[in-house]
Every structure is written in structure tokens, then in C-alpha cells.
Amino acid sequence: MKRVAALVAVLALAGVVTWLVWPSAPEVRGLDQRISVVDGPADDQRVELDATFFPAAGGGKAPAVLLAHGFGGSKQSVRQQAVRLAQDGYAVLTWSARGFGRSTGEIALNSADYEVKDVKQLIDWLAKRPEVRLDAAGDPRVGIAGGSYGGAISLMAAAYDTRVDAIVPQITWADLADALFPDGGGQGPANGVFKRMWAGFFFGRGAPVQGGGAAQGLGALTQQSVPLTAEQARCGRFLPAVCEMYQQVAKTGRATPEAIELLRKSSPVAVAGRIKAPTLLIQGQRDSLFPLGQADANAKAIASAGTPVSLAWFDGGHDGGNGEVDWLYDQTAGWFGHYLKGDGSPVPQKFTVTRDGGRDPGTRQRIRLHPESGSYPGLGGTATTAIPLTGPEQNIANPPGGSPASISTVPGVGGLLGGGGTTNLSVGLDMPGQVATFESAPLTAPLQLTGSPSVKLKVYGKGQVTLFAKLYDVADTAQPPNLPAGLVSPLRVTVPDGAESVETTVTLPAVDFRFAVGHRLRLAVTTTDMGYATPAEPASYRIGLAAPALAVPTVAALAAPTTGVAWWVWAMPLAAIALAAIILATGRTPSRRRTPFTRKAATVRDGSGSTTVQMDDSGVDTFVSDNGQTTTAQKDGNHSGTFVADGDPFTSDPSPDEAVPLEISGLTKAYRNGELAVDNLSFRVERGQVLGLLGPNGAGKTTTMRMMLGLIHPDAGEVRIFGDRVTPGAPVLSRLGSFVEGPGFLPHLSGRDNIELYWAATGRPTADARFDDALEIADLGKALDRAVRTYSQGMRQRLAIAQAMLGLPDLLVLDEPTNGLDPPQIREMREVLKRYARDGRTVIVSSHLLAEVEQTCSHAVVMHRGRLVSAGPVSVLLSAAVSTNGHGPRLEDVFLDLIGQQS
Amino acid sequence: MTAATGYAPGRTLPLRVEIVRQFKRRRTLVMFGLLLALPWILVIAFQFGPQSSGQQQSALRISDLATASGLNFAAFALSVSASFLLVVAVALFCGDTVASEASWSSLRYLLAAPVPRDRLLRQKIIVALGYSAAAVICLPLMALLAGTLAFGWHDIQVPGTGETIAALDVLPRFGIVIGYSLVSQLVVAALAFLISTMTDSPLGAVGGAMGLWIVSTILQAVEALGSLREFLPTFWNTAWLDALAPELDWSGMAKGASVSVTYAAILIAVAFRRFRRKDVVS
């Protein structure tokens, strides 16, 4: 116990020390700055930017990172990420873009004339900071990262400023016009369908927000709104030109050429070809505002100039998803580590996709896999699988006023509620009468869609027809059909005058989605969608498939890095088994060589002559027998000589064995508290003797017997039975029958079953058991077939003695055998024992009853307090007693005498 | 000649003998009776409980699907019993085996017979594990029988998604579930066995194993431990659910088996080592 306590204490101490000395992240301090910049088409507008500069934690000159915030945010929204990057050894500058937070100016949507010029001057500012590493005078080593609005500025700035060395734009747009006026028919924003709801959110967030715009999401809802002026309420902090444009397009739902021109000025795609900074584009799979197609356009434009570009589709975006904050940070840090620090960080492959890896079996949390591909295949995939769709031509109607509208994604809700990472399901809701569906047969093999599927539709109607195409995953179970990522592809087709119908190819939203075996693909074409501006005029159309095949792009090269099983899964059991083997091997009780000894060295003569018991000072008990032979019970157990195995004339029956039945030498056993239970005990028993082991309670008789049976290990000395040293389970014990410290039976079994099963447990032949002889001794009659738990103490005792005599062992060891027996039975037992020894077997009986020993035993060993007091034939002991006092030959007197001497 | 005629250490305490010795015990019979009766009790409970109107859409928990088919019912019966009842059964068979002999004093007579100590433990743990395995196997089998009689033989509906897997395809999966349950109970078995060799109190051994099991389950709820929890013996207890998913996922069960085997190997080795050196004073 003490050892265990000490171990626990040491472990606890080690844990605390580790906790204390574990290196905590270095501290980072942010320096608030007001940076004046001049921008505008004529470089005449002065704007104060609210910025915070975080010098790198390590000190010295570090590469710089400009960290841009998203729309509606401010420098505060990226503070955590900035601190993390600064801890990783970057000098980080965060700022509130013009029109946001505490910066002055108006929002110009990352225009080349405004925000881009601001960023150039921020880079100038960085170049003057002593904490920033320079590539050349005025040219700091700098990267830009940011999401959404901040992602676009990083692209724009990299296009206009060659000093930028690496960028990581996230969930951002390539062409703002295309993002707000998408057309699945591929005819550009002029023909696109207005993404009404998202645009409203986007421009609505330009409104002034109290408190520097720190609060976002649900936090913003709890803030009290501030009174606004009429102009503020109308345009917020937008540049008037931008405001006018939005008012115009939102009213009509159509993109004017001027609006497109203005939005394109804020779009990276036109200038992305100039970008020389290696670019990691991270786009969300759950993003109906800036879908994967936007990153595709950016990637193609940047790659066309030969600039290294990688693309990752992660589980997140403006519609929620998990967000994968840590994974995104790792990717960003890896990219900057490689291209800014040059520390050889592995960069992400050209194309990485986050996929659902099912639930972790232990935590039941969703796990994400990140399969990679060495090349980016675009939205068309590396191969195309044609999935036949069937369905008749169906009539659908546009409801008057466009209401009720089908629902695919409710913009802003996912993001507002902090990301709906709990489920990967998106349930679309289509209104009856507004939807035409075309289904595939159940899949016979899983289908991994990566990219934009396309299908050719035939549309009957008049004039302009606004439709929404979506691809469902139908499981045919209790689960509702799943609309991957909640994405729809709007399209506007024009049926030429005079024609009845028009055919058009629809590009469906780009997703990465796995259709399981047995699931069906369902193409749904609706007339309405809540997120989009749809015509108010009621109209009816007929929709059919122009070609039955849905082209599904796949990317076979996207293979998850083989995670395999964790190393410990196989290493741990192997180590444990090795450890177990060591535990077992080192725990083996050392089987000491059988110590040879000379037979003649120790002999208790079976003589009838007088034996003098001398107690000398050293405590060695010596019997001097009448013929002068001296027997020394040795203390040290150190024998010499060899065991002579040749025949001895004196034994013949029942086993032809010449060895001494029992020899104990130097036997010592201490209690836990150090007190000696058996102290240097030595004696031996010859064949045919009935030896009484005599002593008061606590003399060590039972302990000695337990050591004879190998139940407890002696601290010193040894016990030999028929010449063999007794160890736990020593085979020689099979020649010994025992009854020690009460009976031990299985209470639920009958006496007979107990006896028979005990014998069966010895593994010896049933014929050798001599059940009849033994059961006769037990004398239980019919009770033999009752459960032992019903037996009286005496019955159990007799049964136990019978069990000890099973197989007529050569040595019988009985501990207090007459306890609990009635006088006739005691008498009978005495006879049994005498008879037993007469056949040449040996019996050892312990008792604290002197009369018992006197009447049963031929020899006696007297113990007191663990030590041998006297040993020899009972008659000799008696005669010795006679010689010392005059009360007649009673063992009791001898005994008390001996004990008196000792105590 | 050192041993009695006909004595061979390798023949002592044959498995047959130990099986008989343990089988006639009341607690063995009661435990098996309980395990075999439980499925029928559940069937009765489902039959007589108030029927929820067939609202299939919202709830697809394993308990809602229990009446869908015999297979679903067996999965349900296993899921409700694996976390506690089977643990108790295994702890009972393995924790009781040596300690009860000690408490009856019959242990010393077996050792003096002599049954070598390693062999005694070996035979004991083989039989105890055999009874444990029988307990773990008999419950789902009886549940399958009871469920099939009560609810019919249909394809299994997967909890959560409601997908169906053909009945014949899922039978081997059931084998995996039972096999994994067995392996994951090895820790309890080994722990109970270790305590059994250290104490004279059979219920102490069972209770000790259960106690540590409960502590481990509580620790498992401490999210702050993070991935350290993966190494708790109870952490992967429900990993067999993956075998009933539409796509068989081995990773959780592999980890669970790994953790289980690791603990079990060490605990059993310690049990043997301690018992070899132990002074048997009971």
C-alpha cells in the first residue's frame, strides 16, 4: 500500500511540474495605430484607417501578414487569428477597411480606386516598421489573408501590388456581378437571376454599427440600434455610386450594364491574371453567396499567368457548415510558412476537398477527411459519368407574385446561428405545382460527384422563363431527400417568338457529394426560390428533358491520404503482450535447485529408548538418543552431501520409497508486522509415525502446516516431503492428504459431488481414489447426497477428513481433526489414524489438546511461539517428565514445563 | 518417485470439472435465467406499452426501431444490456471464480491437491471467460428468437438514417457485434479476475471491477480530457454500432479491441504473477 501511495504521489507531482513548466504560448501585444491613407480615383481623399499592429512574438524582423476582415466586420473580428499568427512568428497588421469599424471613408467594395490603394499604403507603412523583414527597400515580405470581403481585397491587392508575396483568400468572389446575378444557362450576369436575399444581407451590413462593429452574429442582435439619419438609413456607409447601383438593381431584379461595370471594378477575376503571389484559395462547400464556381474562376485566372495556386473546398462558407477553423489556420500557416518564411512547410496540394468521414466511433462526432489531388481538374471533373434520368414532360406554374416560394437555403441564417455544423443534411422544400422532377434508377455503385453536373432541358413557354434547377439525393427511406449544400442553379431562358420551346443546358451547382448505393438522383426544376427575385407575373411552363443523361463530373484522383489505423492500435496490444510476458517471466518463483543433503545428518530415531532433550543457549534443539546418535535440527538449512537414492530395507509398503516422509529444516515465517510465526523450526518425521504437532494456540502449528502444503512461502528454510522440496504445486504434494484449518467444500454441491469433483480435480485415475474407504470414514449415510451447506460442523469435518484420505496418501496431515466430533467419533478417529500409520504410512496431527496427542500419537513435536521446544517419541517425553517432577507421566506436565522454560 | 501414481500436473483440474463445479451454482443459473428472460420481458414491454402512432419520420433511435424486426429487436436488446447488464455478468463470472473458492476454503485443498497455481488460474479463467462468452452470446440470440417470434423476420432498419440492410447480409454483422462485445468485455473480465485473486470476498471482486468500470465511464464524460479518453477502457464500448451502419467501419472497433486487449493482457499477467507469489491464508 505504501508503495502504491508513493507511486501515486510521484505521478501527481510529475503531472503538476509538467503543467507548470509546459511552455505557454508567447505573449503577443497589439499596438493600436491610426494610419492615414490617400485614395480615390484622383488620389485626393484622405482616410484614417483604424489598425492594430502585432509584432511577431519572437522579436526580430519577421515576415508580415495583412489580415483583412469580412463584410460588416472590423479589425476586431480577426484579432484572435492575428494573435495566433503573431505567436507563430509573423508581424501581423489588422485594419478596419474604409467604411467599417472606426475607420473613416465609405465602402467602395474593394475597388481598385479605393480599398486597393489603401492596402498599398499599408504595405508602405509595414516597410517602415523595424519589426518587418524587407525583400528590398520599401518592399516588405508580406502576405495577405482574409475571408469574404477580406479575401477579395487580398486578391485585388496582390493583382495591383507586386510586393505581395503570398495570399490566402477565403470564401470570396471572383466576379461580384456573377455572384449576385448567377445564370445557370451560362449567359452571364446580364441574363442572371438576382440573388435578392443575399444581396440584401450583403448591402444591409454596410449600415453603421455601434461599437466599431465588433459584434457579429447573435451578438449584434442584442445591441440597441442607434438612430440613423435619412441618408445613413438609405445608403449606410456605402459610396453613393455603389448605393445608387444597389437601389437600382434591387428594384428591378435585373443587372444593368452600369451595375455590372461597377461590380466588375470590385471583382478580382478581371485582374487576377496579374497576380504573381502564390495563392491558396479556400472556398466553402456550404456557400450559396459565393459558391465554389467563384473560386474556380479565380483559380483559372491566376493559374493562367503561371502563378502557383492551390484550391481547397472546406466544410463551411456563408451558409454555415463546420468552419474547420483549426484546419484552415493550419493550411494558411503552412502556405505562409512556405512562401513567406521559406521554412519548408509542406504546402497543400493543388486541390483539397473536405469530405465527411462519418462519425468518430468513440466520440460520435463528425470527422472530416481531406482527400487531395495533385492537379485541379476544374468543375468539369476528370471524368464524367452519365446518369440517365427519366420523367415525362411536366407542367409547372409560376405563382402570382412569386409566392409561395420554394426554399433551398435561407441566407444568413446558417451564419447567424454560428454555423449549422451539426448536420450535413439540407432539406429543400418545393411547392406543389411549381416543380418538375426527373429521377434516376437506384444507384448500383456509389457515385462521388465533384464539380458541376449538367443536364439539357427543354422548356415550353413564352418569353422569359425563370427556373431553378437542383439535384436531390433521394434515399428511399424515412429520410427526406437531401439537397446537397442547399444549392440551386437559377437560369433564365428566353423562348424565341414564334417558337414553342427552347432547349438549354443547365449547369447545376458545384458540390462535392457522395451518392450512396441504392440512392436515386432527382433533378428538380422549380419556378421559384425564396432567395432569388422571381417574376411576379403568373405563368405556366412545361419542362422536359432534352437529353436523358445527367452528366456527373467525378475526380478519381481525389484520394484521402491513407490514414490507416492509428499506430497505437496495433502497437499497444503488442507492447502489452510483451509487457505481460515480462511480468510473467520475472514473476516466476525461482525454482531453486533441489538442495542435496545427507540422510544420516538428521534422524529422529524411532527408538523406544530414552532421549534427552537438551536446550542449549544457541537454541539448537538436540536429542541425544540412547545409542548416542545425535540429531541436530539445524538452523541454517545449509546441508551438504548427496541424497542417497538406493534402496532402504525398511520400506516396502505401501509405496516402495525410502525417502523421509517429512523433513523440515530452518523453517521461518514472519507475519507482516515482523513478528515470527514460525521461527527456525526443524524436525523430521519417519515412516509409520503418528506425529503430534503440539502447541498452544498461536504456536505456529497451522502456519507450519500451510508451508508443508506449499500454500505459503517460507521466509527461510525449507520443507521436504519424501525428499522433494515443497514449492507451490510441487508434484510430491499428490502423495500428501491434508485437512488444514477446517473443511473447504462447495456449499451448493452434495458431499458426494464434492468428493468426486475434488478427486477429479487431482486428475488421477478414479480407481485410485478408494472412495468407499474414505466415505466409510466420513460415515455420512444418506446425507452424502445433500448439499454441503445443510451439513453440521461435525459432518463437514468428517467429510473433509475423508477427502484428505482419498487415494490413501502416504503422508496424512490433519489439523485439529477431532474438533467438533463427539466422543465416540473421536475414539473412532484415533483408531483410524493409528491403523493408517500401521500400514507404513505417516500421519501428522496437530492439536492443542494434550490428551489427544498422548492417546493417538507415537511421537510429538512441541511448539511454542513459533519455535520448536521439544521433539521425540511420546514415551520419551513422558519419561523425561517423570524424571523432572513427581506427578506421574502426563504429557500436560511436560508441556507446561517446556512452555514454562521458554516463556 | 516424487509424485503419486497417476498424478500429472497437466491433468489436474480438467475444464470439464471446473465447468461442473461452477455450473451448479445458484448465481450462475440466476444470471443465465435473467439473460434469457430479459428479451421476453422486453417483448412483453413492447407489446403492452402504449403504442405511439406511427410517427416514423422524426425519431429513428434504436429503441424506436426495436419492434421493426427480430434483428432490430436483438440490436436494441444488446444496446440496452451491453453497457451494464453484460458487464455485471462478465464481472460476476470472472470476479467470483477464485475469490469464491477462497471464501469456501476450497482453494487451499485444490492447491494442495496439488493443482499448480498457474494451471489453476488458467483453467479458472478459461472457464470464466467461457461462461462470460456464453452470457454475451445467449442474450442476443435469445433476443433474436424472441424478436423474430414477436415482430417477424424482416430486414434491419439502421438507426439514424432508417436505411435498410437485408436480413441475411446483416447476420454476419451480428456475429461481428457479438464478437466485438466479447472483446470489449475482456477488460472487465481481466480486472475482475485480478481482484478475484487478491481478495476472499467474491462480491468484493465483482464490485471492485464494476466500480472501476463506473469510474472509467464517468471520466469518459469529462470532455476536457480530450483524446486521452480514447484510452479509457469504456470509451469504445458502443463501437459495435458501426457494424450495423450501412457501411461497415472497422476503425472504432479496432481501437476498442486494441485498448481492451492491452488492458486485459497486463491485468491477467499481473493476476498470474501475484497469485504465484501469494500466501494463501484463506
For residue A193, the domain's CATH number is 3.40.50.1820
Is residue A594 included in any domain, yes or no? no
In tens, the pLDDT along A55-80 reads 988 878 899 999 999 888 888 889 99
- Asked if B5 has any chain A CB less than 8 Å from its own CB, the reply is yes
- Asked if B56 has any chain A CB less than 8 Å from its own CB, the reply is yes
* Selection from A577, A815, A570, A549 nearest residue A699 by Cα: A815
* Same-domain pairing of A413 and A315: no
Last residue of a domain, one of A337, A352, A373: A373
B-chain residues within 8 Å CB-CB of A565?
Answer: 251, 254-255
Whole-angstrom distance, CA of residue A817 vs CA of residue B102: 21
Q: What is the value of ipTM here, to two decimals?
A: 0.91
Residue extents of the structural domains in chain B = 13-45+57-277
Q: Tell me the three cell numbers of residue A43.
A: 488620389
pLDDT band for position A630 (50/70/90)?
Answer: very low
Q: Is A370 helix (H, G, I), strand (E, B) or coil?
A: coil
pLDDT of A420 over the 50 cut: no
In this complex, the residue of B11, B112, B230 whose CB is nearest that of residue A733 is: B112
Q: What pLDDT sits at residue A414?
A: 53
User: In this structure, what CATH number is given to the domain that contains residue A457?
Assistant: 2.60.120.260
Q: What is the dihedral of CA A201, A207, A208, A211, to 10 degrees?
A: -10
Backbone φ, ψ for residue B269 (5° rounding): -60, -40
Q: What pLDDT sits at residue A221?
A: 52
pLDDT of B265 over the 90 cut: yes
Q: Mean pLDDT across the stretch A652-667?
A: 72
- What share of chain A has pLDDT > 70, as a percent? 83
> Is B261's CB within 8 Å of A747's CB?
no
In this complex, the residue of B114, B119, B273 whose CB is nearest that of residue A587 is: B273
Burial class (CB in 10 A: 0-12, 13-18, 19+), A254: middle
* Same-domain pairing of A332 and A424: no
> Is A477's CB within 8 Å of B164's CB?
yes
In tens, the pLDDT along B8-24 reads 888 899 999 999 999 88
Whole-angstrom distance, CA of residue A733 vs CA of residue A725: 10
In this complex, the residue of A479, A656, A713 whose CB is nearest that of residue B279 is: A713
* Same-domain pairing of A767 and A826: yes
* Same-domain pairing of A387 and A345: no
In tens, the pLDDT along A779-827 reads 888 888 999 999 988 889 889 999 999 988 999 999 888 877 888 888 8
Is residue A579 included in any domain, yes or no? no
pLDDT of A701 over the 80 cut: yes
A-chain residues within 8 Å CB-CB of B117?
Answer: 728-729
Last residue of a domain, one of A497, A530, A554: A554
B-chain residues within 8 Å CB-CB of A745?
Answer: 104, 106
Taking CB atoms within 8 Å and a gap of at least 24, the contacts of A23-31 are: A25/A57, A25/A87, A26/A57, A26/A58, A26/A87, A27/A57, A28/A54, A28/A55, A28/A57, A28/A83, A28/A86, A28/A87, A29/A54, A29/A55, A30/A54, A30/A79, A30/A82, A30/A83, A31/A55
Q: Tell me the three cell numbers of residue A709.
A: 502444503
**Residue B268 Cα, gap to closest chain A Cα (Å):** 8
One-letter identity of residue B12:
T
Q: What pLDDT sits at residue A225?
A: 60
A207 vs A755: which has the higher pLDDT: A755
pLDDT of B217 over the 70 cut: yes
**Residue A816 Cα, gap to closest chain B Cα (Å):** 16
Q: What angle do CA A807, A810, A814 make, to 5 degrees?
A: 85
Q: What pLDDT sits at residue B41?
A: 92
* Selection from A555, A67, A563 nearest residue A311 by Cα: A555
Whole-angstrom distance, CA of residue A542 vs CA of residue A495: 12
Q: Mean pLDDT across the stretch B134-150?
A: 91
Last residue of a domain, one of A373, A404, A432: A373
* Same-domain pairing of A544 and A616: no
In this complex, the residue of A587, A709, A746 whose CB is nearest that of residue B108 is: A709
Q: What pLDDT sits at residue B251?
A: 81
pLDDT band for position A90 (50/70/90)?
Answer: very high
* Same-domain pairing of A640 and A695: yes
pLDDT of A223 over the 80 cut: no
**Strand order, beta sheet including A372-373:** A31-39, A45-54, A91-95, A64-68, A142-147, A164-170, A279-284, A309-314, A351-353, A372-373
> Is A746's CB within 8 Å of B106's CB?
yes
Is residue A412 included in any domain, yes or no? yes
> Is B2's CB within 8 Å of A733's CB?
no
Nearest residue in chain B measured CA to CA from A482: B161
A-chain residues within 8 Å CB-CB of B105?
Answer: 741-744
Chains A & B: contacts with CB separation below 8 Å: 222
B-chain residues within 8 Å CB-CB of A584?
Answer: 269, 272-273
In tens, the pLDDT along A391-419 reads 999 999 999 888 888 888 777 665 444 33
Task: Establish whether the linkage from the previous residue to B114 is cis, with ω within 30° of 0.
Answer: yes
Q: What pLDDT sits at residue A880?
A: 66
- Asked if B139 has any chain A CB less than 8 Å from its own CB, the reply is no
**Residue A644 Cα, gap to closest chain B Cα (Å):** 13
**Hey, CA dihedral for A240, A244, A246, A247, is it positive or negative?**
positive
* Same-domain pairing of A737 and A804: yes
Give chain A's mean pLDDT.
81
Is residue A587 included in any domain, yes or no? no
Whole-angstrom distance, CA of residue A632 vs CA of residue A665: 10
Interface subset of B 201-240, CB within 8 angstroms of A: 229-230, 235-236, 238-239
pLDDT band for position A486 (50/70/90)?
Answer: confident
B-chain residues within 8 Å CB-CB of A711?
Answer: 108, 111-112, 279-281
Q: What pLDDT sits at residue A230?
A: 73
In tens, the pLDDT along A124-167 reads 999 988 889 988 888 999 999 998 889 999 999 999 999 999 99
Q: What pLDDT sits at residue B166?
A: 80
Strands A690-694 and A842-847: parallel
Q: Domain range holding A432? A: 383-554
pLDDT band for position B25 (50/70/90)?
Answer: confident
Nearest residue in chain B measured CA to CA from A577: B265
- Asked if B115 has any chain A CB less than 8 Å from its own CB, the reply is yes
pLDDT of A654 over the 80 cut: no
A-chain residues within 8 Å CB-CB of B13?
Answer: 761, 763
> Is A731's CB within 8 Å of B247's CB?
no
**Residue A597 Cα, gap to closest chain B Cα (Å):** 16
B-chain residues within 8 Å CB-CB of A425?
Answer: none
pLDDT of B266 over the 90 cut: yes
Q: What pLDDT sits at residue A882?
A: 53
Q: What pLDDT sits at residue B116?
A: 92
* Same-domain pairing of A175 and A76: yes
pLDDT band for position A338 (50/70/90)?
Answer: very high
Under the phi-then-psi rule, with left for phi > 0, alpha for psi from -120 to 50, and beta for the rest, what region is A236? left
* Same-domain pairing of A518 and A489: yes
Lowest mean pLDDT among A203-212, A234-243, A253-262, A621-630: A621-630
Q: Mean pLDDT across the stretch B240-269?
A: 87
**Residue A753 Cα, gap to closest chain B Cα (Å):** 9
* Same-domain pairing of A253 and A368: yes
Using only the alpha carbons of chain B, give its radius of gyration: 21
A-chain residues within 8 Å CB-CB of B259?
Answer: 572
pLDDT band for position B52 (50/70/90)?
Answer: low
**Residue A702 Cα, gap to closest chain B Cα (Å):** 10
Q: What pLDDT sits at residue B48?
A: 80
Q: What pLDDT sits at residue A212?
A: 39
Q: What pLDDT sits at residue A222?
A: 55
Nearest residue in chain B measured CA to CA from A813: B112
- Asked if B246 has any chain A CB less than 8 Å from its own CB, the reply is yes
Domains contained in chain A, number? 3
- Asked if B242 has any chain A CB less than 8 Å from its own CB, the reply is yes
A447 vs A423: which has the higher pLDDT: A447
> Is A761's CB within 8 Å of B13's CB?
yes
Buried b or exposed e, range A525-543, using 16+ CB within 10 angstroms: bbbbbbbbbbbeeebebbb
Is residue A15 included in any domain, yes or no? no
Is residue A13 included in any domain, yes or no? no
**Residue B152 Cα, gap to closest chain A Cα (Å):** 20
Q: Mean pLDDT across the stretch A323-346?
A: 88
> Is A475's CB within 8 Å of B6's CB?
no
- Asked if B108 has any chain A CB less than 8 Å from its own CB, the reply is yes
In A311-425, where does DSSP find H-type helix?
Answer: 325-336, 413-416
In this complex, the residue of B104, B241, B262 whose CB is nearest that of residue A744 is: B104
* Same-domain pairing of A419 and A348: no
Is residue A569 included in any domain, yes or no? no
* Same-domain pairing of A242 and A155: yes
**Chain B interface, mutation test: which of A711, A806, A816, most B Cβ atoms within 10 Å?**
A711
In A763-818, where does DSSP find H-type helix?
Answer: 771-778, 793-804
- Asked if B24 has any chain A CB less than 8 Å from its own CB, the reply is yes
B-chain residues within 8 Å CB-CB of A364?
Answer: 238
A240 vs A560: which has the higher pLDDT: A240
Q: What pLDDT sits at residue A620?
A: 36
**Residue B97 Cα, gap to closest chain A Cα (Å):** 12
**Chain A interface, mutation test: which of B230, B279, B281, B282, most A Cβ atoms within 10 Å?**
B279
Q: What pLDDT sits at residue A664?
A: 92
pLDDT of B131 over the 90 cut: yes
- Asked if B50 has any chain A CB less than 8 Å from its own CB, the reply is no
Is residue A5 included in any domain, yes or no? no
User: In this structure, what CATH number is given to the domain that contains residue A864?
Assistant: 3.40.50.300
In tens, the pLDDT along A380-389 reads 888 899 999 9
- Asked if B265 has any chain A CB less than 8 Å from its own CB, the reply is yes
